Amino acid sequence: MCAAIAPVATEPASAMPACLEEARAVVRNTKNRPDFEEFFGDMPECASTPGALIKMFSCVSAESEEVKGLYDVLRQKGYTDPSFQGGDFCEISADEIRSDEVTARSLTNRLEAIAKEADAVADCRASIAKWLDDKSKLDAQDLIMSAQMLNRAIELMQQQLAPLEEQDKATATTLTRIKRDVSGINDLVGLRIMFCAG
């Protein structure tokens, strides 16, 4: 009688690409408001609206939590401890070691993807913040939009962007810590595969 073959673990799929694609597909609808179109017309193309930018940050933040979850699974198993060795090194099953290998691979792949997207979204926020600063220096007499409306639009957008800077810093801190450990995690997983899961 043949022994049952354990199912091969697969990497959990990331929702970030679809989430970002949806945010970047948002279309600004200002065709019935020429004053709004004038205001937003030269906004950096990385985001069509403040809401789209906020959605992008939400996508990256959610992925950061997912990546942190993968990291925590491996950290709790001792993979971030460089002195992790001794008699208990091979005391888990080969199936569990293979599962850890998949988790480590997923962590590495998703860390690379989120680092790239986090930088792009942060750059987008900075570009829009600069654009807003430039808008605040305009003379409303040269615009269709009234001075009161111009100032209010700038104020509202600045209020929306303000929390994103802190969110960006929190994500960067999380990713920096994980990047520091990911090479060592993969080394230890590799050692376990080599010595314990044959």
Report the pLDDT value the prediction gives residue 87, as an integer from 0 to 100.
52
pLDDT (tens digit per residue) in 11-54: 668 899 999 999 999 988 877 788 778 888 888 999 998 899 99
pTM across the whole model: 0.82
Report the pLDDT value the prediction gives residue 9, as an integer from 0 to 100.
55
Residue 105 to residue 182: CA distance in whole angstroms: 10
Looking at residues 84-100, what average pLDDT do you find?
77
Helices of type H across the chain? 16-24, 34-40, 50-76, 94-135, 147-196
Nearest to 116, CA basis, from 174, 175, 76, 62: 175
Report the pLDDT value the prediction gives residue 122, as an integer from 0 to 100.
94
Nearest to 110, CA basis, from 179, 183, 14: 14
- Domains assigned to the chain: 46-74+94-196 (1.20.58)
Looking at residues 180-191, what average pLDDT do you find?
89
pLDDT (tens digit per residue) in 109-166: 999 999 999 999 999 999 999 998 888 877 666 666 677 777 888 899 899 989 998 9
Report CA 166 to chain centroid distance, whole Å: 14
86 pLDDT higher than 60: no
pLDDT grade for 88, boundaries at 50, 70 and 90: low
Report the pLDDT value the prediction gives residue 108, as an integer from 0 to 100.
92
Looking at residues 176-185, what average pLDDT do you find?
91
Taking each helix axis from N to C end, the angle separating 94-135 and 50-76, rounded to the nearest 10 degrees, works out to 150
Looking at residues 157-180, what average pLDDT do you find?
90
Token output for 148: 């009161």
Report the pLDDT value the prediction gives residue 1, as an integer from 0 to 100.
38
Report the pLDDT value the prediction gives residue 110, as an integer from 0 to 100.
93
